Amino acid sequence: MKHIESESNASLKQWKKLHSRKEREKTGTFLLEGPHLIEEAIHSGAKLQHVIVEENYQMKDEWLKERFSLWSVPAKLMKQLSETEKPQGILAVCEMMDQPEDLIKPKGRYLLIDGVQDPGNLGTIIRTADSAGLDGVFLGEGTADLYNGKTVRSTQGSLFHLPVVKADLLQIIGQCKEQDIPVLSTSLQEAVDMRRASEVEGFALIVGNEGAGVQETLQKESTMNVKIPIFGQAESLNVSVATGILLYELQRNRS
Amino acid sequence: MKHIESESNASLKQWKKLHSRKEREKTGTFLLEGPHLIEEAIHSGAKLQHVIVEENYQMKDEWLKERFSLWSVPAKLMKQLSETEKPQGILAVCEMMDQPEDLIKPKGRYLLIDGVQDPGNLGTIIRTADSAGLDGVFLGEGTADLYNGKTVRSTQGSLFHLPVVKADLLQIIGQCKEQDIPVLSTSLQEAVDMRRASEVEGFALIVGNEGAGVQETLQKESTMNVKIPIFGQAESLNVSVATGILLYELQRNRS
């Protein structure tokens, strides 16, 4: 294990740059914080370039068999690297995952995310899509960055469990239709109660921006608009909650 | 409209103290930020003691007929009063709502929250309970403060739409059972798939802490433990998402 003591160490400075999206995209790497996420990454075969621990951190023996370079830093530097208020003592530089091409298969179940902006919402939605056993998630333009620290933490590791791909959603909609997969757009107007859409076999569900919802261009290309009934006085639901309700409603007959 | 220019103004200093739970509980008041929440408060009959606007803020004419004292402050002081990064130019000191006693009625629909700690989660759950048309929400010990700014904002005004009451959850469970309302506790172990519990008429659903779930003492007093099926590899769902899925599943037959 190598030790870094100085703020001006070149590696340390490089890792700190990964707080910015631009640098993450340039290098194809991102930061993972905490033992749980690192464990998920290792189990899923994601490649860790560096693992950085706070001095005296007790690392699990099995991890040490992995091939990555290991560094220790004083608490002060860990604080600079971490994006959380209470760093968990361990952090990794992880390579972005390769994603399979031609993801869309007959009877597949997909989620298309059109412009969800809050990283916490995006992460929670990916966690929900994992829990709901989807075959893939597509991130349209204007959607928060998958590799933002807040997004990654909110996924609770689910980003390693299913394909999550940046994509042109119009193209994806076209591919789904070619495979006879119904494309369901969430909407508050002119939409069918979700309970009448729930017998579908395979689906592509589109959820939209926190304020504006799904773009009209995408709604127009959808097979059907669906909505969640509102029984009270709320105007709408949080987008992560709405996604969860819809994904489970659409799969009521799944065993 | 009165104007405040100085940081040492006594009213201003008092309002700033409302950032702390202790002061909110002592005075029975809390802060509301932004035009949407203030509008919801006015419509629901909540009492606004003071409304504070940034200089040059254009206030809706209809609001000016309301009975509250109106203040203007420079942007610098608005920033101190606000708990958000981008203050919306208007803020109010609102009185906590009186809540009805004996809320539990036959065939009622209730949500019991056992120790949800994140104010954002709590607010989102209250918004979801409103959307799902519940008759009341009960906040057990260890749950985040309803009047925390983050909670209030995340409710998007739903805290004014249905009763939300601090309570001893064991007592509430007892009252529900007296009215023959089934008490359903969320649990990951020894629980029935939610889809087999969905024909109930009236229910009390208990959701629990982000990490620990529902306390065993409360689970033991429940009529039934229910769980959401996990079709993928996620270990669990975010508590707000889980609450939404369950509340809609339990009301599939509602029109």
User: What is the per-residue pLDDT across A111-130, written as a single tens digit (0 to 9) for each?
Assistant: 999 999 999 999 999 999 99
Query: Are residues A232 and B134, on separate chains, in Cβ contact within 8 Å?
Result: yes
Which is nearest to B112 in space by CA: B176, B197, B179, B178? Answer: B176
Query: Are residues B237 and A128, on separate chains, in Cβ contact within 8 Å?
Result: yes
pLDDT at B200 (0 to 100):
75
pLDDT at A149 (0 to 100):
96
Chain B CB contacts of A195 under 8 Å are 252
Other beta carbons less than 10 A from residue B166's beta carbon: 12
CA distance A82 to chain B (A): 21
Residues B125 and B210 in one domain: yes
Q: Which residue among B95, B121, B139 closes a domain?
A: B95
Write out the residue range of the structural domain in which residue A121 sits.
Answer: 109-249
Q: How many domains does chain B have?
A: 2
Q: Is B162 helix (H, G, I), strand (E, B) or coil?
A: coil
For position B61, which CATH number holds? 3.30.1330.30
Phi-psi group of A3: left, alpha or beta (phi > 0 → left; psi -120 to 50 → alpha; rest → beta): beta
Classify residue B232 by its DSSP letter.
S
Residues A167 and A196 in one domain: yes
The span from the CA of A145 to the CA of A159, in Å, is 12
CB nearest to B240's CB, from A161, A230, A238: A238
For position A141, which CATH number holds? 3.40.1280.10
Global ipTM: 0.94
Q: Share the mean pLDDT of chain A.
A: 94
CA angle in degrees (0–180, nearest 5) for B162-B166-B171 = 105
CA A15 to chain centre: 21
Residues A67 and A115 in one domain: no
The span from the CA of B244 to the CA of A245, in Å, is 6
CA distance readout (Å), B137 to A27, A149, B193: 48, 33, 23
* Whether pLDDT at A82 is above 90: yes
Query: Are residues A233 and B134, on separate chains, in Cβ contact within 8 Å?
Result: no
Q: Which residue among B69, B95, B121 closes a domain?
A: B95
Residues A134 and A239 in one domain: yes
Look at residue B103 and tell me if it is in a domain. no
The span from the CA of B213 to the CA of A9, in Å, is 43
CB nearest to B128's CB, from A128, A229, A241: A241
Which residue type is seen at A58? Q
CA distance readout (Å), B92 to B24, B76, B164: 13, 17, 20
Q: What is the mean pLDDT of residues A169-193?
A: 94
Helix, strand, coil fractions of chain A, as percent rounded to 5: 35, 20, 45
Chain B CB contacts of A124 under 8 Å are 238, 240-241
pLDDT at B102 (0 to 100):
86
Six-digit token string for A156:
């609770």
pLDDT at B15 (0 to 100):
97
Six-digit token string for B37:
């929440």
Look at residue A115 and tell me if it is in a domain. yes
- Give the contacts of A26 (CB within 8 A, at least 6 positions apart): none
Residues A120 and A229 in one domain: yes
Q: What is the mean pLDDT of residues A11-21?
A: 97
pLDDT at B53 (0 to 100):
94
CA distance readout (Å), B178 to A54, A176, A189, B175, B220: 55, 52, 41, 5, 16
What order do you get walking across the sheet with B136-139 strand by strand?
B164-166, B136-139, B109-114, B203-208, B183-186, B224-227, B192-193
Q: What's the maximum distance between 2 C-alpha atoms anywhere in chain A?
A: 62
Q: What is the mean pLDDT of residues A42-56?
A: 93
Residue A224: band (very low, low, confident or very high) from pLDDT cuts 50, 70, 90: very high
Q: Does A253 touch chain B (CB under 8 A)?
A: no
B43-57, B160-174, B187-201: segment of lowest average pLDDT: B187-201
Residue A17: band (very low, low, confident or very high) from pLDDT cuts 50, 70, 90: very high
CA B228 to chain centre: 23
Query: Are residues A233 and B161, on separate chains, in Cβ contact within 8 Å?
Result: yes
Chain A CB contacts of B124 under 8 Å are 238, 240-241
Query: Are residues B128 and A237, on separate chains, in Cβ contact within 8 Å?
Result: yes
Query: Are residues A127 and B231, on separate chains, in Cβ contact within 8 Å?
Result: no
User: Residue for token digits 């954002």?
Assistant: B120
Q: Does B45 touch chain A (CB under 8 A)?
A: no
- Please report the beta strands in B128-231, taking only residues with DSSP state E, as ranges in sequence order: 136-139, 164-166, 183-186, 192-193, 203-208, 224-227
Q: Does A202 touch chain B (CB under 8 A)?
A: no
Q: Which residue among A32, A60, A95 closes a domain?
A: A95
Q: What is the mean pLDDT of residues A90-119?
A: 94
Question: pLDDT, tens digit, for every residue of B16-46?
Answer: 999 999 999 999 999 999 999 999 999 999 9
Q: Does B96 touch chain A (CB under 8 A)?
A: no
Q: Does B57 touch chain A (CB under 8 A)?
A: no
* Whether pLDDT at B61 is above 80: no
User: Residue for token digits 């004996």?
Assistant: B102
Q: What is the mean pLDDT of residues B156-165?
A: 97
Residues A179 and A60 in one domain: no
Q: What is the mean pLDDT of residues A217-231?
A: 96
Contact of A241 with B241, CB cutoff 8 Å: yes
Question: pLDDT, tens digit, for every residue of B191-210?
Answer: 999 999 876 789 999 999 99
Closest residue of chain B to A154, computed from CA coordinates? B238
* Whether pLDDT at A59 is above 90: no
What order do you get walking across the sheet with B90-95 strand by strand?
B2-3, B69-73, B48-54, B90-95, B29-33
